[in-house]
Amino acid sequence: MGAAGATAAAFTIVPRHVLGGPGNTPPSEKLNIAGIGVGGRGSGVLQGVESQNIVALCDVDTERAAQAFKRHPDAKIYRDFRRMLDKEEKNIDAVTVATPDHVHAPASMMAIKMGKHVYCEKPLAHSIYEARMLTEAAREHKVATQFGTQGQASEGNRLICEYIWDGAIGPVREVHVWVDRPLSKGQDFYWAQGVGRPAETPPVPETLEWDLWLGPAPERPYNPIYCPFTWRGWLDFGTGALGDMGCHSFDPIFRALKLGYPSSVEATSTLLNDETFPVASIVRYEFGARGDMPPVKLTWYDGGLKPARPEELDEGRRMRPEGILFIGDKGKLLNERLIPESRMKEYGKPPEVLPRSPGHFEEWINACKGGEPARANFDWAGPMTEVVLLGNVALRRELREKLTETKLYWDGPNMSCTNVPEANEYLRREYRKGWTL
């Protein structure tokens, strides 16, 4: 890490070909890929890699996974990824993981330890500790990894970096980033937050293996309030709007501003409870200087909250439900456009200094076959996920009282909160019997 101070250093990526590693499939051959969690987003991930051989599919919910099963009739079908990996170890080169958040780490870790390449959805893990362990294990086992932030492969992501590195808005000391999840005005309801645990215990659908769905999480009775999809709001399974969308939104910010671990975090929100994330929150991170970049404050808003509309935004242009606003000493960048529009027109495009992506999934497939590491490999995704999840630590109900009296100061390299020791209890969670990292 650079001399800029450990807690603010950017994360560097060691190319795969330098590392060597497990038997790489030659580019001319197809990979044998197994899918873990293949309904919903998982089916989209599989489609992204279906140019390869899809040899096995695993899902705890046969109804949710039915489309994927049908699309790949030759793939062997499993409900328990542990059994699949045990039985199919020899036939699998790589896995895609698109389970609920609480299963990301155990599934990814088992595959990594077997030397399988891993594509894992965001956030990389459910806890900071898991993210750190996965990052280290992937490096140790020299597997090719990629993280489900497909936006990183976009032109816009690169333009943001190039505008900022070209000095288009001067040094950046303030960034605001917002999403409207878990709720969205005028659109469908995403999922519930700020609610308590239901008392009803309806029967488990025949198509669902509830115990496997729970995986490493503490046992609780089935209720359709948790799955599919709506697990995102529950502390035991999801990581809230921040965990869901933060990894997407933070990606261009972390790249453009070369962010590493923050020096402190502060969170404020609607009412907290022990079951679900709050209806809305604001999380404020502070990062130290990086090289010649000054310290920067990054503020996250969810649940419909947003920063103030910048004066430079032309009349008639709206603040979209999701966005990133970079505030530099010499200008402002809203997503990938300088504002006002006259400034954008005057500036034109910055010099193209970043290579463009062959495609998010292609990056990973190439890496599995011995090519360059994918751009969102775990050396990148792990630390960024940790920062996202640190916001959720600051949002713990148990810490709220204590955190009215101070910010949470963070020692990233040592993965430790330095001023509120109680916070360190929420960096890691216990697994249910039969589940390991």
* Least distance (Å) between residue 306 CB and other proteins: 5
Under DSSP, the state recorded for 366 is H
Sheet holding 76-78, edge to edge: 76-78, 53-58, 32-36, 94-97, 117-120, 145-147
Q: Is the Cβ of residue 206 or residue 405 nearer to other proteins in the bound state?
A: 405
* Least distance (Å) between residue 390 CB and other proteins: 17
Q: Is the Cβ of residue 172 or residue 212 nearer to other proteins in the bound state?
A: 172
* Least distance (Å) between residue 185 CB and other proteins: 6
* Least distance (Å) between residue 266 CB and other proteins: 6
* Least distance (Å) between residue 274 CB and other proteins: 13
CA distances from 309 to 43, 380, 418 (A): 37, 31, 35
Q: How many residues does the chain have?
A: 437
Q: Is the Cβ of residue 90 or residue 185 nearer to other proteins in the bound state?
A: 185
Ramachandran area for residue 217 (φ above 0: left; ψ -120 to 50: alpha; else beta): beta
Q: Is the Cβ of residue 235 or residue 282 nearer to other proteins in the bound state?
A: 282
Q: Is the Cβ of residue 178 or residue 234 nearer to other proteins in the bound state?
A: 178
Under DSSP, the state recorded for 313 is S
Tell the residue number behind the tokens 């894992």, with chain if given: 120
Q: Residue 98: what are its φ and ψ, rounded to 5°? A: -140, 45
Q: Is the Cβ of residue 85 or residue 272 nearer to other proteins in the bound state?
A: 272
* Least distance (Å) between residue 283 CB and other proteins: 11
Q: Is the Cβ of residue 18 or residue 308 nearer to other proteins in the bound state?
A: 308
Name the nearest CA neighbour of 378 among 30, 125, 49, 37: 125
Q: Would you list the DSSP string of 252-280?
A: HHHHHHT--S-SEEEEEES---SSB--SS
* Least distance (Å) between residue 76 CB and other proteins: 44
Q: d(Cα 128, Cα 110) in Å, to the nearest integer?
A: 18
Enumerate binding residues for other proteins (CB under 8 A).
183, 185, 194, 266, 268-272, 278-280, 282, 284, 301, 303-306, 308-309, 404-407, 419
Q: Are 116 and 94 in contact (CB under 8 A)?
A: yes
Q: Would you list the DSSP string of 119-160?
A: EEPSSS-SSHHHHHHHHHHHHHHT--EEES-GGGGSHHHHHH
* Least distance (Å) between residue 264 CB and other proteins: 10
Q: Is the Cβ of residue 103 or residue 267 nearer to other proteins in the bound state?
A: 267
* Least distance (Å) between residue 341 CB and other proteins: 19
Token couple for 338: 């300088």
* Least distance (Å) between residue 194 CB and other proteins: 7
What is the torsional sign of CA 325, 383, 416, 112? positive
Q: Is the Cβ of residue 22 or residue 294 nearer to other proteins in the bound state?
A: 294
Helical H segments across 293-370, by residue range: 341-347, 360-368
Under DSSP, the state recorded for 30 is P
Tell the residue number behind the tokens 């996250």, with chain if given: 300
Q: Is the Cβ of residue 270 or residue 342 nearer to other proteins in the bound state?
A: 270
Under DSSP, the state recorded for 422 is G
